[in-house]
Amino acid sequence: MTRNNIQIFDTTLRDGEQVPGCKLNTEQKLIIAKRLDLLGVDVIEAGFPISSPGDFHAVSEIAKVVKNAIVCALTRANKKDIEVAAQALKYAKYPRIHTGIGTSDSHIIHKFNSTREKVIARAIEAVSYAKTFVDDVEFYAEDAGRTDNAFLAKVCEAVIKSGATVLNIPDTTGYCLPNEYGDKIKYLVDNVKGIENVIISCHCHNDLGLATANAIAGIQNGARQVECTINGIGERAGNTALEEVVMILKQHPYLNLDTGINTKLLYDTSKLVQYHMGMIVQANKAIVGDNAFAHSSGIHQDGVIKNRETYEIINPADVGVNESSIILTARSGRAALAYRAKNVGYELTKIQLDMLYPEFLNYADKRKEVNDDDLHYLMNINNPLKSSVNF
């Protein structure tokens, strides 16, 4: 059976770069854009060109160097934004304009002081105008997560008629539960005329920690593009993490869904973005955190040493991590101590291990972690058992 392709739309350089303190200069954006192209993303959202001359410049430079991915620029639903985005995308091999407007009653009433009818009219006008510059126009219905489904369907139908090629259904505030978000996508699939001719896109925020789960629910109900960022960075609590969605689909092959991502580059790409943005991910971050493949309790270490899959569902090599790590702490058992000692050159007999282990525990109790230098120290320098153990 042929597998369905899920398009990966990376917005690290737009939604991700909105994070306070994560601002990048053009040179840094180019480094990241080239890496994203190499990683195999389908779309790079390079920025919001009307927002500043610096962003305009960065988008146009990125448009010149990206070889494979679509380069996309964000706009609001007005002519000036769209003209400036089109200008910034002039040199892109595959340009896309991403335009849209808030569709929830909250946005319509409080942000625009407008009406549903006027918002539909603006959406149609924006998409039609963007189409005069590029073929590929993505429409976002901002705050779709809190938009009434029947009205959202009306907006979607209208912009499809105007030529939108992709429909972005953002859960802008990260409010939806996975079943609600999935049902919303299904409602659109079932009720919007012409939807079979466009790609539905998920853009989920992480305010309740559900961004990745919601994106997956969207895919399971018919969406075929996911908007995401490296390390899940983005406005407030962030966006769906690219590395999570990609590995979820890879580790669940029965879903029959593929991305074109070279997963072996995920870890290095994460580090590259951390370095340039100055935003370090937490150690327990899925896929790319320092502890994602680290085992520290004795029971787990013993299991992993016997067979990695006992406690690991991902082969670290698949995401570019050399190997699982066995961390020595006071919770470690003999198996872990023997394993790590062997890695630094000491092949211990059972008797030697039994003699060393109590000393190791005393030492480990005084430290957070026992490293390779500590192991040498324990076994050679100050070891009261040295003469009898005879290393």
Closest CB 236 distance from Zn ion, rounded Å: 9
Among ligand KIV, Zn ion, none, what does residue 142 contact (CB within 5–8 Å per kind)? ligand KIV
For Zn ion, the closer of residues 15 and 302 by Cβ is 15
If binding means CB under 5 A, how many residues of this protein chain bind Zn ion? Answer: 1
For ligand KIV, the closer of residues 89 and 364 by Cβ is 89
For ligand KIV, the closer of residues 95 and 170 by Cβ is 170
Q: Does 142 bind Zn ion (CB under 5 A)?
A: no
For ligand KIV, the closer of residues 218 and 316 by Cβ is 218
Among Zn ion, ligand KIV, none, what does residue 140 contact (CB within 5–8 Å per kind)? ligand KIV
Q: Which residues bind to ligand KIV, rule: CB under 6 A?
A: 15, 140, 142, 168, 170, 172, 203, 205
Residues in contact with 112: Cβ distance below 8 Å, sequence separation at least 6, in sequence order: 101, 102, 118, 119
Q: Which residue is nearest to Zn ion (CB)?
A: 15
Closest CB 168 distance from ligand KIV, rounded Å: 6
For ligand KIV, the closer of residues 203 and 300 by Cβ is 203
Closest CB 176 distance from Zn ion, rounded Å: 14
Among Zn ion, ligand KIV, none, what does residue 122 contact (CB within 5–8 Å per kind)? none
Contact letters (x/-) for Zn ion, 2-21, by CB under 5 A?
Answer: -------------x------
Among Zn ion, ligand KIV, none, what does residue 267 contact (CB within 5–8 Å per kind)? none
For Zn ion, the closer of residues 170 and 316 by Cβ is 170
Exposure b/e, 98-123, CB count within 10 A at least 16 = b:
bbbbbbbeebbeeeeeeebeebbebb
For ligand KIV, the closer of residues 15 and 136 by Cβ is 15
Closest CB 291 distance from ligand KIV, rounded Å: 29
Closest CB 142 distance from ligand KIV, rounded Å: 4
Closest CB 249 distance from ligand KIV, rounded Å: 22
* Binding stretches for Zn ion (CB under 5 A): 15
